[in-house]
Amino acid sequence: MNKIILGVLGSGKGSNFRAIADWIQLKNEKVEIALVVSDVQDAGILELARSRRIPAMYLPPGKFKTKLEPEVESQIAKLFKEAGVNLVVLAGFMRILKGPLLEAFPKRVINIHPSLLPKYPGLEAWKQALNAGETVTGCTVHYVDEGIDSGEIIASAEVNVYGNDTPGSLHARIQEAEHVLYPMVIDWFAKGEDWQYSEETQITQDL
């Protein structure tokens, strides 16, 4: 199996990036992170990457609030191609992709979302689940398309919702599940395993 070369897009602190980088360092020589790109100049993910000597850069996103300028998205695709990237990982990236990157990496752009999709797409999904009175929520890894958390599901992990949960406590447990699930899915790509979303890719976390 060819080595999996990751290009990472992130807007925030980078907790999923950290989990993936730690997993690679400890357990997987078939995966490496080639480049981290952020649309936020002072994003924590950039500092995390630089502290690990992983190339990291900020690109101004342009005038839109929810998506990248097409020229910027094309530039990211070019940078990833030049870096040898063959799997694009969104790690807390807060903008919708609208074409150039998806076209450059068909079926090779993935994201993790803090709910059991298709329930609760969009922002602060843990709050949506809590407000709806759910007893179980979780996180989902999915292929990225041009919609909001609407791409084909790859795998998910369940997280219990407790009666004394706050948005913060629930979100923290969902993030714990994310940090297990995301590396697991990347490992499937590294092993070249075929998958189909099923009960076998529905993972229950005792969190």
Question: Would you say 17 and 48 are in contact if contact means Cβ atoms under 8 Å apart?
Answer: yes
Q: How far apart are CA 114 and CA 26, in angstroms?
A: 25
The answer to whether 113 is a known catalytic residue is yes
Q: In what order do the strands lie in the sheet with 109-113?
A: 56-58, 31-38, 4-10, 87-90, 109-113, 136-143, 153-160, 202-204
Q: Which residues contact 65 (CB under 8 A, 6 or more apart)?
A: none
The phi, psi pair for 55, rounded to 5°, reads -55, 135
Annotated active-site residue in 113, 142, 171, 179: 113
Q: How far apart are CA 12 and CA 6, in angstroms?
A: 18
Which residues are part of the catalytic machinery? Answer: 113
